[in-house]
């Protein structure tokens, strides 16, 4: 049976209004993705830590044309208005630059993205290690080209590891789109516009635990299982890339 | 004899061993649901042999070497703070160093009247103990409340370590309650820290 998404389904990126009118062609077996990738092939991933000097930790990530930079500040003193807390506190903020989308617009905060980033990260951070203090995560999307939130989450976990925040595991995130009966992993903006449904998984690969699962649109049970397995495999590969990035920077600093 | 293993780089989430074989030290944690020890920081893996007299024969595995986040005041740590405000029953201070490390962003601490010295607690006059701008060495008593950490100077080696006189010169401690200006000879009252020998 078809399963509906959550109460407040969230779109992954602002959808340009003019593009909604032109429908992408109906899916065919011989259809090729706009950037030439296979259905189960992710975009090339590039990570770099230490991009922002003033921050305790920072990371820069590129997935194809999606470019994200994340800064982590803290642990630092909580604001005086906040209640006392025996465990640490995590604040997340996700914003887009005015030039991030094809239609130039106000660089606005996306409240639902902030909430989803917070949910994805708080399960992986050991909050008891910094009581009464706050860790602030600021994510800035420099260019939006589809699947922005998974890139933001992966980049944020890399920035937290760079800042020396204790974590249970690195957090990797991948999303998949559904077209009729076919699954397309790591969709770009053109594919997201015409999708029937989307699935995003955030997991801790070495512990094989999921910190967040977001489903929108209509999915059958077998398709959800297939999509989840596809995302988990991609997350495991992505985590290897992230670990090699952390080790490379650390060994460079040692030299 | 167990030799220390060659340095291996680990990242958060990497498996360091089983809980039956190793103990989790700094930068590592034990997941009890599958009896595995994971790293929680990025750094080099170290194995510390168990103490000879210890009944537990498992070595301790630690992750060290990579940069950690700035220091955070913990109960029991000695901090260096700058007094910002002196009131009738307490003094407010900005924590600048935790142990030998300086903090990146300030933490607020408070020295209450009952924590200034160990004797004659009821007769403490805050204005004769601290002055705004003084540098004090203090002990973190507890996490305090939502606003500030609770600090204490109720030991001989805690208290004011540096103060400026009205003339602007750094004063010299002459007793445990007095400091003197080298320019004018003016004596001012402070809760003076005993100099480390």
Domain match, B101 and B185 both: yes
Which residue segment(s) compose the domain that B26 sits in?
A: 8-64
Comparing CA positions, the residue from A147, A141, A129, A240 lying closest to residue A193 is A147
Per-residue pLDDT, A82: 67
Whether B85 and B60 map to the same domain: the answer is no
Residue A104: the pLDDT is 66
In a domain, A6, yes or no: no
Question: Taking a C-beta distance cutoff of 8 angstroms, is the pair A243, B14 a contact?
Answer: yes
| Residues B44 and B15 grouped into a single domain | yes
Position B94 scores a pLDDT of 92
Place of tokens 């005041």: B73
For residue A36, being part of any structural domain is answered with: no
Is residue B111 within 8 Å of B140, Cβ to Cβ?
no
Q: What is the CATH number of the domain that holds B52?
A: 2.40.50.100
The whole-number pLDDT of residue B41 equals: 86
The pLDDT of residue A173 is 93
The reply to whether B104 and B171 lie within a common domain is yes
Rounded Cα–Cα distance for residues A234 and A220 (Å) = 21
- Specify whether B29 is located in the same domain as B84: no
Give residue A156's pLDDT.
95
Facing residue for B104 by CB, picked from A56, A84, A207: A56
My answer on whether B87 and B154 are in the same domain is: yes
Residue B47 lies in a domain: yes
Q: Decide if B2 is inside a domain.
A: no
Token representation of residue B37: 């020890």
Whether B3 is in a domain gets the answer no
Pair B82, B124 in one domain: yes
Q: Is residue A18 part of a domain?
A: no
Cβ-based burial of A91 (10 A; exposed 0-12, middle 13-18, buried ≥19): middle
Q: Is A23 within a domain?
A: no
Domain CATH number, residue B123 = 2.40.50.140
**Whether the Cβ atoms of residue A77 and residue A134 lie closer than 8 Å to each other:** yes
Please give the pLDDT value at position A31: 56
Of B15, B31, B70, the CB nearest to A56: B70
How many separate domains does chain A show? Answer: 1
Both tokens of A111, joined, read 């409240």
Question: Widest CA span of chain A, in angstroms?
Answer: 60
Which residue is associated with the tokens 């601290």? B130
- How close is the nearest chain A Cα to the Cα of B135, in Å? 20
Is B179 a domain residue? yes
How many CB atoms sit inside 10 A of residue B128's CB?
A: 15
**Which one of A73, A75, A166 has the shortest CB-CB distance to B41?**
A166
Q: For residue A147, what are its two tokens? A: 């699947």
Q: How far apart are CA A68 and CA A113, in angstroms?
A: 13
Does residue A120 contact residue A201 with C-beta atoms inside 8 Å?
no
Give the domain-ending residue among B18, B38, B64: B64
With respect to residue B57, please indicate whether it lies within any of the assigned structural domains.
yes
Spell out, as residue ranges, where chain B has pLDDT lower than 50: 1-6, 197
pLDDT at B158: 92
Per the document, the length of chain B is 197
Q: How many CB atoms are located within 10 Å of the residue B21 CB?
A: 12
- One domain, residues B49 and B86: no
Question: Taking CB atoms and an 8 Å cutoff, what residues of chain B touch A126?
Answer: 29, 40
Please check whether residue B130 lies inside any domain of the structure: yes
Which of B38, B43, B108 shows the shortest C-beta gap to A168? B38
Asked, for residue B73, whether it belongs to a domain, the answer is: no
Place of tokens 């009729």: A180
From chain A, the residues in CB contact with B11 under 8 A are 161, 170, 242-243, 246-247
- The neighbouring-strand residues paired with A177 are A184, A198
Domain housing A86 = 45-253
CA distances from A93 to A12, A79, A104, A173 (A): 15, 16, 21, 17
Residue whose entry in the numeric block shows the structure tokens 């402070």? B190
A26 CB-contact burial (10 Å; exposed 0-12 / middle 13-18 / buried 19+): exposed
A253: enclosing H helix or E strand: helix A221-254
**A14 inside domain:** no
> How many Å lie between the alpha carbon of A97 and the closest alpha carbon of chain B?
28
Report which DSSP code applies to A30: T
Structural contact between residues A61 and A44, judged by C-beta atoms closer than 8 angstroms: no
Residues B83 and B58 in one domain: no
- The dihedral region occupied by B148, where left means phi > 0, alpha psi between -120 and 50, and beta the remainder, is beta
Report the number of distinct structural domains present in chain B. Answer: 2
Q: Domain check: are B48 and B82 in the same one? A: no
For chain B, the maximum distance between any two Cα atoms, rounded to a whole number of angstroms, is: 70
**Residue A116 within any structural domain of the chain:** yes
Chain A residues with at least one Cβ partner in B under 8 Å: 56-57, 73-78, 80, 82-84, 126, 130-133, 161-170, 204-207, 239, 242-243, 246-247, 250-251, 253-254
CATH at residue A118: 3.30.230.70
Residues B84 and B172 both lie in one domain: yes
| Strand-strand pairing, A209-217 and B172-173 | unpaired
CA distance A188 to chain B (A): 30
Q: Which of B7, B13, B37, B92 to mutate to test the interface with A (most CBs of A within 10 A)?
A: B13
Burial class (CB in 10 A: 0-12, 13-18, 19+), A228: middle
Interface of B with A (CB under 8 A): 9, 11-15, 27, 29, 31, 38, 40-43, 65-70, 72, 104-108, 143, 145-147
Task: Kindly give the confidence (pLDDT) of every residue in chain A, 255 residues in length, as a single tens digit, with 9 standing for 90 and above.
Answer: 333 444 444 545 554 444 444 445 544 455 578 878 887 888 889 897 888 888 889 999 988 989 999 999 978 887 667 667 778 879 898 988 888 888 766 565 567 789 989 989 989 999 888 888 889 999 999 988 888 899 999 999 989 998 988 889 989 999 988 877 688 888 988 788 888 898 999 999 988 889 888 888 878 888 888 898 889 989 998 998 998 888 876 554 433
The ipTM value here is 0.79
pLDDT at A252: 47
SS3 at position B15: strand
Burial code (b: 16+ CB inside 10 Å, e: under 16) for A30-62 equals eeeeeeebeeeebbebebbbbbbeebbbbbbbb
- Same domain for B32 and B91, yes or no, is no
Q: How many CB pairs below 8 A link A and B?
A: 96
In a domain, B71, yes or no: no
């Amino acid at each position: 049976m078809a399963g509906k998404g959550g109460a407040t389904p969230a779109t992954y990126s602002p959808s340009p209004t003019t593009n909604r009118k032109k429908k992408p062609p109906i899916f065919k077996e011989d259809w090729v993705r706009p950037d030439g990738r296979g259905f189960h092939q992710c975009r090339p991933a590039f990570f770099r830590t230490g991009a922002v000097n003033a921050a305790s930790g920072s990371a820069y990530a590129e997935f194809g044309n999606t470019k994200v930079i994340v800064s982590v500040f803290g642990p630092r003193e909580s604001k005086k208005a906040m209640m006392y807390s025996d465990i640490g506190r995590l604040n997340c903020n996700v914003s887009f630059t005015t030039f991030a989308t094809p239609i130039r617009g106000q660089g606005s905060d996306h409240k639902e993205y902030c909430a989803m980033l917070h949910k994805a990260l708080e399960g992986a951070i050991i909050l008891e290690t910094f009581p009464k203090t706050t860790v602030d995560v600021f994510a800035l999307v420099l260019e939006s080209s589809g699947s922005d939130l998974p890139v933001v989450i992966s980049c944020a976990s890399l920035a937290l590891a760079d800042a020396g925040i204790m974590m249970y595991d690195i957090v990797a995130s991948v999303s998949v789109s559904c077209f009729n009966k076919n699954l397309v992993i790591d969709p770009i903006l053109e594919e997201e516009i015409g999708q029937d449904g989307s699935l995003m998984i955030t997991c801790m690969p070495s512990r094989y635990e999921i910190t967040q699962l977001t489903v929108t649109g209509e999915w059958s049970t077998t398709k959800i299982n297939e999509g989840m397995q596809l995302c988990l495999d991609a997350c495991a590969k992505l985590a290897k890339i992230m670990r090699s990035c952390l080790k490379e920077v650390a060994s460079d600093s040692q030299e | 004899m167990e030799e220390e293993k060659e340095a291996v780089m680990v990242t958060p989430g990497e498996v360091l061993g089983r809980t039956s074989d190793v103990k989790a030290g700094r930068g590592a944690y034990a997941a009890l649901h599958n009896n595995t020890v994971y790293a929680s920081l990025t750094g080099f893996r170290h194995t510390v042999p168990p103490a000879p007299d210890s009944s537990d024969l498992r070595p301790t595995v630690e992750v060290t070497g990579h940069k950690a986040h700035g220091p955070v005041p913990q109960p029991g740590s000695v901090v260096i703070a700058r007094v910002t405000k002196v009131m009738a029953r307490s003094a407010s201070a900005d924590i600048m160093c935790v142990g030998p490390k300086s903090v990146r962003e300030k933490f607020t601490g408070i020295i209450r009247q009952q924590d200034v010295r160990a004797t004659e607690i009821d007769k403490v006059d805050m204005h004769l103990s601290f002055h705004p701008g003084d540098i004090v060495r203090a002990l973190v008593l507890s996490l305090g409340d939502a606003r500030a950490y609770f600090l204490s100077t109720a030991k001989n080696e805690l208290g004011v370590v540096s103060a400026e006189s009205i003339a602007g010169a750094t004063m010299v401690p002459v007793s445990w309650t007095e400091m003197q200006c080298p320019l004018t000879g003016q004596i001012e009252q402070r809760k003076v820290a005993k100099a480390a020998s």
